[in-house]
Chain A
């Protein structure tokens, strides 16, 4: 299947004069194909949000791409995310974004309907009446009463506001939606319905959703594929079911083991230690100081990401390359 987004050898840093650069992303490789939900998981500071910033093409200093290539592939056209002009042409129409907190992303002194209208007017050439009618029906489709359009943001609940934002992000049927912790700050019941909504819209429009969340439970529920990141690199990526059934990377194993299970009263194990300082990351495998299966080799050599099973990639020395003479395969999703 043709790829929608490719990330090849991406390294990005936060650079401030007088401080050593923070290597937020190091040699990240993966790609997205149309019509899938891909989850990006990992602890705080693992590079999830930086990755989204790079993908959205809204790079601002101090964030800088050091190496690598990130490109969208739309209708046979290749658009590098660093090309600001091209990106502004496709923004929202082809690639949109659901922010982390919808609490404060809506203009507090303007009615929702009006704000929604501006979003549509900026990207589509529709008559006023046509826009209004379509917005009304779309708002109902995402499970909101029509009166929401006449309300101000402060008059809505957190869940309703998040639905409004999701509606704004999907109204133009973009091929790719970047979602940054879209359920943070919502209670679990609302969280579930919001995730269900994202999933429904994704299936209906055949969109691709890249969903960043620290919550492995969310990925288990909605993601087709999950990318586990650690300290700025991809540790493991696999179809979600395979990943949860048989995680390979010791870090993924710990992450999954720390999830609570119904009826299981055993105490959950957490991962000891804390993520490394990305201004001065440890040599070799970045997880080795916290790894229970650490070997001498791990302290010196950074393991490459290799495909150990079909569509299952892992960066760990426990899984030797099938043929060490061959260079590591570039991980590509083959759906």
Chain B
């Protein structure tokens, strides 16, 4: 039974990746942006003269080196052959650096920033929300709720800008970092490098924590309030169980189920980067890379990042499916 449960999940996992990556391959190719045309028109706009034959030859050349020759289906077949070995071809915008190298360079920045700040927000928001929901009448918890309600609906770009303004201009407590570390530092495991990375990541991390904290707080509070009225929580109170047991093993334990699901999904989506955060804070992660790729018609880079994201989200879903029965015994192995 368990084996069948796992094999069905695995099969649908592979299917999701196949369909997702296929869509990701085709969609950019249907957009009007073409990398070859972009370069040629750039040459024109810079004032150099190209006669039509030379332009045609250049187009051919570019298409060949970009791997964009042949029918879509031929390109698609070639794409899978290379993708399975982790090769997504060269980037067009930073030609001829391989896409995989660009992604690998950006990945640690994004994952480090997003995973850490998502986890902090999740733990904080859920804990506070749990108490606020369970001790509804406490004045302190009402204040906490008011804060969460005030922050939660603020659009991220406004919150981020406000944060930059406040911390860097109005009350200049620390400088805004450009990039992942101070300029000129060589990557490595030196103390100086790590401290600089931490300093530059602090503000973007804070902005992410603030935004997602509100959501975790409010959703957990609603869950805890509902659970407090569940028969089994009321009965646990009637039986005079310890408050710690009721809070931890009854309310929190049951409220965890939807929250864990959402955390897994949000961690999966980390791999597409945080576009706004990274652009706003000039952070060298996947989001910035994705932005560059989209602006320059860099199909290979677009597909590479999107494919990574598809795999990551599907993997998060798979792991969730596999571990969920341990969290909720009512899930049947079917």
10 nearest A-B pairs in the assembled complex, by CB-CB distance: A105-B235, A104-B231, A91-B240, A152-B329, A105-B231, A92-B240, A122-B241, A107-B232, A118-B245, A122-B242
CB distance from A120 to the nearest CB of B (A): 10
Max chain A C-beta neighbours (<10 A), residue from B239, B240, B241, B253 = B239
A251 at the interface (CB under 8 A from B): no
In the complex, the chain A residue whose C-beta lies closest to that of B328 is A109
Q: Which B residues are CB-close (under 8 A) to A91? A: 238-240
14 residue pairs bridging A and B, Cβ less than 8 Å apart = A56-B238, A88-B240, A91-B240, A97-B238, A103-B231, A105-B231, A105-B234, A108-B330, A109-B328, A109-B329, A110-B253, A118-B245, A122-B240, A123-B240
Q: What does the 1/0 interface line of A92-129 toward B look like (CB < 8 Å)?
A: 10001101010111111110000000110111000000
In the complex, the chain A residue whose C-beta lies closest to that of B256 is A109
Q: Which A residues are CB-close (under 8 A) to B250? A: 107
Q: What does the 1/0 interface line of B239-283 toward A look like (CB < 8 Å)?
A: 111100100011001100100000000000000000000000000
B123 at the interface (CB under 8 A from A): no
A305 at the interface (CB under 8 A from B): no
* B interface majority secondary structure: helix
Contact A106 B232, beta carbon cutoff 8 Å: yes
The tally of CB-CB contacts under 8 A between chains A and B is: 63
Contact B240 A108, beta carbon cutoff 8 Å: no
Chain B count of residues within 8 A CB distance of the other chain:
22
B192 at the interface (CB under 8 A from A): no
Contact B245 A122, beta carbon cutoff 8 Å: yes
In the complex, the chain B residue whose C-beta lies closest to that of A123 is B240
B327 at the interface (CB under 8 A from A): yes
In the complex, the chain A residue whose C-beta lies closest to that of B332 is A154
A195 at the interface (CB under 8 A from B): no
B230 at the interface (CB under 8 A from A): yes
A7 at the interface (CB under 8 A from B): no
User: In the complex, A105→B253 CA distance in Å?
Assistant: 15
A24 at the interface (CB under 8 A from B): no
CB distance from B156 to the nearest CB of A (A): 34
- A99-B231, A99-B235, A104-B231 known; A109+B327 contact, CB < 8 A: yes
B19 at the interface (CB under 8 A from A): no
CB distance from B327 to the nearest CB of A (A): 7
A58 at the interface (CB under 8 A from B): yes
Contact A109 B253, beta carbon cutoff 8 Å: yes
CB distance from A91 to the nearest CB of B (A): 4
Contact B232 A118, beta carbon cutoff 8 Å: no
Q: Which A residues are CB-close (under 8 A) to B254? A: 107-109
- A107-B250, A109-B254 known; A58+B239 contact, CB < 8 A: no
Q: Which B residues are CB-close (under 8 A) to A107? A: 232, 236, 249-250, 253-254
Q: Which B residues are CB-close (under 8 A) to A101? A: 231
